[in-house]
Amino acid sequence: MPFDEKVALVTGAAKGIGAGIAARFVEAGAAVVIFDVDGEGARTIAGRLCAGGRALAIVGDVASEEDVRRAVERTVAEFGSLDVLVNNAGIEVAGAIPDYTSEQWDRQLGVNLKGAFLFAKYAIPRMRGRGGAIVNISSVHSFVSYPGNAAYDASKAGMVALTRTLALDHGGDGIRVNAICPGYIDTPLMEEWLATVADREETMRQVLAAHPLGRIGTPRDIAEAALFLASDAASFISGTALVVDGAMTVAGH
């Protein structure tokens, strides 16, 4: 799946799944923009990837329309086009609905859902007429819910709905839009969660037992799925949500 002369922009790419996706696209030959609010992390990843290809760090907030507009404009100015957009940036604010503040709710949906809307808004005009692919990183939380995750679940389910509508609206422009719904993935975000549990070893035993494949996922697992959906090998796939969770959800977890 060669991506020579293709340009991909990956949000939330300073670590975890986003960094894994950025690295995989560079391996495939693409120029990659690492967009993240964490400037130091974004520049570190870009510097590491520059050894294997073209990479550029852009610092900004996905919930800021001005930051998003400037990122898309700079991408095109630097590399000449924008062919693939991966909306990966996301945060998780846990808590019961009565305990949420309006600010927490707005920030959760601002990063996870509004960010995908804003990048699509500014990327699609750059893709229209020449084709392109958008991959939205959603979650198994789009289909199953867990206590204390109302805002996160709502944002991720909304991303799948957004994916479907974008696919309908812009298929005529030659733009394909798909979502990936990861399950448990070995990332810094998961490590932060494990640090809050009373018994890490028992928690991980339960997590692994919930996966018929016997392991949790890696950023590389999601990166391979993103690369496939963005590639010509998936030229007739649009408007779908691909679950990448080691069969956890079909096992009833």
The answer as to whether 249 is a domain residue is no
Tens-place pLDDT, residues 220-247: 999 999 999 999 999 999 999 999 999 9
Q: Which of 244, 146, 137 is nearest to 193 (CA)?
A: 146
What is the number of structural domains in the chain? 1
Total residues found in the chain within this entry: 253
Q: Which of 4, 3, 8 has the alpha carbon at shortest distance from 127?
A: 8
For residue 11, the SS3 value is strand
Beta bridge mates, 9: 33, 85
pLDDT at residue 146 in the model? 83
Would you say residue 210 lies in a domain? yes
Rg (C-alpha) for the chain, rounded Å, is 17
In a domain, residue 236? The reply is yes
In eight-state DSSP terms, residue 228 is H
Q: CA 91, CA 234: separation in Å to the nearest integer?
A: 28
Residue 121 lies in a domain: yes
Distance between CA atoms of residues 78 and 51, nearest Å? 18
Residue 33 DSSP code: E
In this structure, is residue 91 part of a structural domain?
Answer: yes
What value does the mean pLDDT take over residues 166-175? 97
Residue 164: domain span: 7-244
- Residue recorded with tokens 């590639």: 231
Q: Is residue 251 part of a domain?
A: no
Type of residue numbered 20: G
pTM (2 decimals)?
0.95
Which tens digits make up the pLDDT trace of 42-82?
Answer: 999 999 998 767 999 999 999 999 999 999 999 999 999 99
Residue 52 burial class via C-beta count within 10 angstroms: exposed 0-12, middle 13-18, buried 19 and up: exposed
CATH code, domain with 167: 3.40.50.720
Rounded average pLDDT over 106-118: 97
Nearest to 8 by CA among 193, 26, 205, 68: 26
Q: At CA 204, angle to CA 203 and CA 209, rounded to 5?
A: 100
Which residues contact residue 157 at a Cβ distance below 8 angstroms, ignoring those fewer than 6 apart? 138, 141, 142, 143
Lowest mean pLDDT among 83-87, 104-108, 197-201: 197-201
Burial class of residue 147 (count of CB atoms within 10 Å of its CB; 0-12, 13-18, 19+):
exposed
Indicate which residues carry an active-site annotation: 152
Q: Taking 90 as the threshold, does the pLDDT of residue 36 lie above it?
A: yes
pLDDT of residue 113: 98
DSSP structural state of residue 207: H
- Confirm whether 97 is domain-assigned: yes
